[in-house]
Amino acid sequence: MAEPFIVFGAPLIGEEEIAEVVATLRSGWIGTGPRALAFEEAFRDYTGAAHAVAVNSCTAGMHLALIVAGVGAGDEVITTPMTFCATANVILHVGAVPVFVDVDKATLNIDPNRIEAAVTPRTRAILPVHMAGRPCDIDAVRAVAARHALTVIEDAAHCVEGRVGERRIGSISELTCFSFYATKNLTTAEGGMVTTSRADWAEALRRYRLHGLDQDAWKRYGPGGVRHYEAVVPGFKYNLSDLQAAMGLPQLRRLEQNLKRREEVWAIYDAAFVGLALTVPAAPAAGTRHARHLYTLLVDEARAGVTRDTFRERLNAMGVGTGVHFIAVHLHAYYRERFGFKPEDFPNAAWISERTVSLPLSAKLTDREVERVVEAVKGSLG
C-alpha cells in the first residue's frame, strides 16, 4: 500500500487548538473579542514589542502599516523583488510606487549595500523581508533609513521566532508585520499581527482595521456597557476573529517547541544533502536566530542534471509536495507590463526564481516522512 502524500506546509494542529475553538463556539462570542485581545497581549509579550494589533492577514497588516506611517500617492517604498506579490501589491494599494532592490544570492534577502542608491526625494519607507525565516541585515537597513529619515516596515511573515542578538523580530523597527496563514510557523488558518513601538500608531491601526470605528464590537456589545460609535476614518474590514485567536493562543504557547522540531528536520536535511549537486540554504548569520520557515534548495540544471520544475515533478510522483518561494515580483505579468521590468533588472532575484524549490518543513513531519523526503530528493537528480 502506497504511503500517504506528504502535503507541503501542512500545519501541526493539536487537541488544544480544537478544544479552544470549540470553547469559543460555545461561548457565543466568535467575532473580535476577549480571545483576540488575549492573543494580542500574548504576542506582544512574546516579541517584546510595545504594542501588537491583530489583523486578518499579513497583507492587511502591511497595508495598514503603510497608511499609519503616512505613505501615500506619489511616494516610493524600497523593497525586495524576492517575496510574495502581496509585499509589493500593498505599496500600490496606498498609491505609492514599489522600488525594488536586488537580493543576495546566498541569503535570498535584500542586499543592504544596494539600498542607498535606490533612495530618492520621494522615498518614504523601506519594506525589507525576512525571507524563509532568515533575519535580513536589519541593522544595516535601519542605518540607511536613519540617514534619510525613512520608516522601516518589516515583512516578517516567515519570521515569528527570529532574533537578532537578544532582540526579537517585532521589537526592532517601528512597524513589523506577521502572517498566521495555514502554512506558517504559527497559524490561525488566516490571520496576522502588526507590532509597533508607537502608541499613536497602534491606536490608528485598531481604528483602520475595523471600518474606522472608534468602538469595536466587544466594547459596544460586551460587558462594558452600551456605547455609541462613529466612523472617524475611512477604514477597512481587517479584524481578526476570536475563532482565529482561539487557534493562535495554543499555537503561540507551543511555538518554541515546534521550532525545535523544525530545527531537527533542517539538520537532517543539511546532513543528508552534503555532496549532492544542489545548493542548500546558507547558515544563519552569526548572532541571529533563523525561524526555519522554508527549507529552500537551489536546483541548477547545469549541476543537478535536471531543471527545477522536472525535479519538483519527480518529487511529486514520489509522494512529496513542494513549493516555489518565490517567482520574483518583477517577473510577474502585471509588474512587467506596468513598469517595464526585465529579468536582468534584478539578476540575482531572477536567477533564484528559476532554481528555488521548498521542501516540506513542519513540526508535523514524522521521522518516516523526513526520510521519504530525503530519499525523493536523492532519487530525483540527474
**Residue 262, SS3 per DSSP:** helix
Is cis: bond before 326, omega within 30 of 0?
yes
Q: What is the DSSP string of 152-221?
A: EEEE-TT-TT-EETTEETTSSSSEEEEE--TTSSS--SS-EEEEES-HHHHHHHHHHTBTTBSS-HHHHH
184 part of the active site: yes
Q: Taking a C-beta distance cutoff of 8 angstroms, is the pair 182, 190 a contact?
A: yes
List the alpha helices (DSSP H) in the chain.
15-27, 34-47, 58-68, 85-93, 138-148, 199-208, 217-221, 242-253, 255-272, 301-304, 308-317, 333-339, 347-355, 367-379
Question: CB–CB of 291/160 below 8 Å?
Answer: yes
Residue among 184, 219, 237, 342 flagged as catalytic: 184
The HSE-up count of residue 362 (CA atoms within 13 Å, CB side) is 22
Distance CA 303, CA 85 (A): 29
Looking at residue 329, the DSSP 8-state letter turns out to be G
Q: Distance (Å, rounded) from C-alpha 94 to C-alpha 71?
A: 7
At position 307, the amino acid (one-letter code) is T
Q: What are the φ and ψ backbone dihedral angles of 150, each rounded to 5 degrees?
A: -105, 150
Look up residue 272 and give its DSSP letter: H
3-state secondary structure (DSSP) of residue 269: helix
Residues annotated as catalytic are 184
